[in-house]
Structures are given as structure tokens and as C-alpha cells.
């Protein structure tokens, strides 16, 4: 197992649809173990393969929930069914997200309060569970990475403008930028 560098917005793999996983083999198991180790070192609640430079449709997560789903897991080739997303303004105190690929920044975003997650585990066995509240948010956030979207791409005009300005100020939005959890300073101050 090894900690992998986390790609920063602007890296092409983050901005295109990831490919379906076709082989449930030792290479996949190694990738998943590396993703767990990287996610843990970054103090993340989720990590999608494109965030470590791999354009495949899978993500890991670690989030205590009351939905009966495992607290820690991997979802491969996921399909999500969502409840309706409210059109109300997001609450900056209750609905603010961050992302390891937009390190250190956080912005409010409305998400669906419920999702059904279907996919496969690392051995190719089917998964099917529901997620609510923040656990649902984590599932949507990680799934978006597999379609080439970052949470900042979904922000409303007010918050999106602020995010774009800050990303430009940080010098991001270009290929080749990464940070290494456990070595580089923690951008979220954990």
C-alpha cells in the first residue's frame, strides 16, 4: 500500500468521464488499498479514483451513518438514484462542502437528501444501499468525480464566482498540480 498524490483541479483526469472498471483483479485491489491509505492520510470522507490520477469509475468512503450501510467501503461502477434537490439557497452553516482536489476551500451547495447507491465491491459482488443526509452528500460528491465534475462546478452563481476567483488566485486550473497527504501540510488543518 502507498499514499498517492491527490490531483488538484485543472488536471485533465478530473474533468472527464471515467471509464468503467472491467477487471476485478489484483491491480484493482492494490488501487483500492492505496485509495484507502490516501483518503485516511488526507483525513477525507471519500476519494474517487480520478483524484489519484486514475480514470476509473470507483470511489472509497469512510463515513459513519445511520442507514445500515458499512461505515467504510468502496463502490465500483456506481449508479445513483437521487431524491429531488431543493432549489433553495444553500445554508452556509449546514451545507458547506470541501474537496481534496480543491484543497483548503469550502463552499455551500445544495444536494439531494437521499440517494440509492448500486454498484460492486472490490470482489465484483453487487452492492445496493440507501444513504441520507451527509452520507448522501458524500455519495453524490464522489460520484460526481466519476463524471468529471467537481463540487465547485455545481455551485450557484454567487458561490461559483467566489470559487473561480479563489482557484485562479491559487494558480490552480492547470495540469500537473498535486499534493501529497501525510507529507504536505494538511490544507484543511486536521
Q: Could you list the active site residues? A: 142
Whether residue 124 contacts residue 166, with contact meaning beta carbons closer than 8 Å, is answered with no
Please tell me the distance from the alpha carbon of residue 137 to that of residue 14, in angstroms, as a whole number: 19
φ and ψ at 103, to 5 degrees? Answer: -60, 130
Cell of 92: 452556509
Report how far residue 21's alpha carbon sits from residue 29's, in angstroms, rounded to the nearest whole number: 12
Q: Residue 80, CB half-sphere, CA atoms under 13 Å: how many?
A: 28
**How far is the C-alpha of 70 from the C-alpha of 75, rounded, in Å?**
11
Dihedral over alpha carbons 174, 164, 36, 117 (to 10 degrees): -120
What is the C-alpha to C-alpha distance for residues 98 and 25, in angstroms, rounded to an integer? 32
Report the C-alpha gap between 137 and 141 in whole angstroms.
6
Amino acid at each position: 500500500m502507498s499514499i498517492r498524490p491527490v490531483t488538484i483541479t485543472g488536471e485533465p483526469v478530473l474533468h472527464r468521464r471515467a471509464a468503467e472498471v472491467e477487471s476485478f483483479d489484483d491491480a484493482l485491489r492494490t488501487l483500492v488499498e492505496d485509495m484507502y491509505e490516501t483518503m485516511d492520510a488526507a483525513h477525507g470522507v471519500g476519494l474517487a479514483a480520478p483524484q489519484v490520477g486514475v480514470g476509473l469509475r470507483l470511489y472509497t468512503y469512510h463515513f459513519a451513518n445511520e442507514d445500515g450501510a458499512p461505515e467504510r467501503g468502496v463502490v465500483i461502477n456506481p449508479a445513483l438514484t437521487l431524491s429531488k434537490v431543493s432549489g433553495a439557497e444553500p445554508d452556509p452553516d449546514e451545507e458547506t462542502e470541501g474537496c481534496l482536489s480543491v484543497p483548503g476551500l469550502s463552499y455551500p451547495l445544495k444536494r439531494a437528501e437521499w440517494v440509492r447507491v448500486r454498484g460492486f465491491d472490490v470482489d465484483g459482488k453487487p452492492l445496493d444501499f440507501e444513504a441520507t443526509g451527509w452520507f448522501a452528500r458524500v455519495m453524490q460528491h464522489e460520484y460526481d468525480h466519476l463524471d468529471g465534475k467537481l463540487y465547485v462546478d455545481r455551485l450557484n452563481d454567487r458561490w461559483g464566482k467566489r470559487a473561480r476567483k479563489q482557484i485562479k488566485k491559487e494558480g490552480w486550473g492547470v495540469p500537473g498540480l498535486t499534493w501529497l497527504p501525510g507529507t504536505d501540510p494538511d490544507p484543511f488543518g486536521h
